[in-house]
Amino acid sequence: MNLNQIFTNQRTGNNPHTRASRTDFQRDFDRIIFSSAFRRLQNKTQVFPLPGSVFVHNRLTHSLEVSSVGRSLGSIIGEFITDNFQSDLNEDSKSFYLHNLGNVIAAACLCHDVGNPAFGHSGEDAIASYFEKNEKDLKPKFNEKEWADLVNFEGNANAIRVLAHQQQGKDAGGSQLTMTTLASIAKYPCEAIAKEKGIIHRKKFGFFQNEKDTFLEIAKATNLISESEEPHIFKRHPFVWLVEAADDICYNIIDMEDAHRLGIVSTADCKNLFFELVKSETDDVNKVKRKLDSISNENEKISYLRAKVINALINNSIENYKLNFNTILEGKLDKALLDIYKSENKTLQDIESFSIEKIYNHKAVVEIENAGYNVMYELLDHFIPSILKSKDERKSYDKMALKLLPNQFIYEDGTDYQRVLGVIDFVSGMTDNYATDLYRKIKGIEIGMTM
């Protein structure tokens, strides 16, 4: 890939470039911050239920922290590219890598989860399962590729839709972000029909059929390497690896800190795991020990070690990115940056194993996943059968159900696929609380007027 041709300030919606005090990529960051899709992340589950007494991370605080780590990764790699490939770069590229790559990665990290529905991954599973369980009635209404989108519903693909799709009555291009920022969140740049386990860029899929033309524009504008045209498969954009690393660094470590604050993980276990990882990456273990001894508050001890661990993982990810830079540009790297380190570091493997056993399978986590699955499934079942009927076929209960859909999600003149996507837009965009409240109301569990 040519380093001069993998970024652009071209936006979705074909909006002309305007002069401003902020760069185009800083404007991306600001647009995301002020968007309603980003704001709704404050009430979407990250891992743990959102208790009132102990503050744990939600999708919004997670995204802010990932963005902070991503900015560091992007800024340092921008300097690396500028210093080591100066003869290959034109003046615009030198300025971009030195001053704006950090902004691109920060913006991409900020919006990497906007397509995720409520209740964590169980929300994604509920949407996919709804179509699987109703295959006999629903599959004949869609073509093969459309059906693949629905039965493999994926938050990453939905993020592209949330950010770039024109809703009813709204402006073209969605949030109108630069195609560089959008390319940077495309971890799986392929169609759903092309997904294949074991292949890093095809483990899931990156765009719905409805947004395929938009994604092809993104791919063309950022010069993604094409692997296949039928179905469409691209190699990852080089910036994706940095966004993925920032996300992996944060959730691997922050989930452990949250579990400690909730009393799920003991101070001793958390401290020992974090300290072992820091010890493997620092030249001055005694300095870390002295600092720990000077802190009496248990939460503060863990916070200090968490900061040291994140710093170590940032440094390691940067080194692995540099070492594999040419392979990344060629689209041939087959392992995530943190996975490369994990294969070499037993402590990081231990943290992952411990998290799976003690955190992700904890009763409170499993309960919220079960509840979320049922809520999301039932909401879809309330709307989709009604939206798929023609106006003449709809009974009074169908009409009443559809009155609950905001106008921007109703595509009456569209295909069955487009109408169903509108319902999915509405349901997947809900916060945990809103989804639960609406579920209780339509099921008659809670009756009464609320605003």
pLDDT, one tens digit per residue, over 232-277 is: 999 999 999 999 999 999 988 888 888 888 888 888 999 999 998 8
> Taking residues 127-153, what's their average pLDDT?
96
pLDDT, one tens digit per residue, over 371-401 is: 889 999 999 999 999 999 999 999 999 999 9
418, pLDDT greater than 90: yes
Residue 113's pLDDT is 93
> Taking residues 215-230, what's their average pLDDT?
96
Residue 43's pLDDT is 85
Residue 18's pLDDT is 58
51, pLDDT greater than 80: no
Q: Give CA–CA dist 136/128, Å, rounded.
A: 15
With a pLDDT cut of 70, the percent of the chain lying above it is 95
Please answer whether residues 121 and 45 qualify as being in contact, where contact means their C-beta atoms are separated by less than 8 angstroms. Answer: no
Q: Give CA–CA dist 25/70, Å, rounded.
A: 14
Residue 89's pLDDT is 95
Residue 369's pLDDT is 83
168, pLDDT greater than 80: no
Q: Which residues contact 255 (CB under 8 A, 6 or more apart)?
A: 46, 47, 57, 355, 359, 360
> Taking residues 111-118, what's their average pLDDT?
93
Please answer whether residues 238 and 328 qualify as being in contact, where contact means their C-beta atoms are separated by less than 8 angstroms. Answer: yes
Residue 347's pLDDT is 87
Residue 430's pLDDT is 94
Mean of the per-residue pLDDT values of the chain: 90
75, pLDDT greater than 90: yes
154 vs 25, 148, 207, CA distance in Å?
A: 26, 11, 9
Kindly indicate the confidence band of residue 445, based on its pLDDT and cuts at 50, 70 and 90.
confident
AA letter at 357: E
66, pLDDT greater than 60: yes
Residue 185's pLDDT is 97
pLDDT, one tens digit per residue, over 291-325 is: 888 988 988 999 999 999 999 999 999 999 999 99
330, pLDDT greater than 70: yes
38 vs 2, 162, 313, CA distance in Å?
A: 32, 10, 26
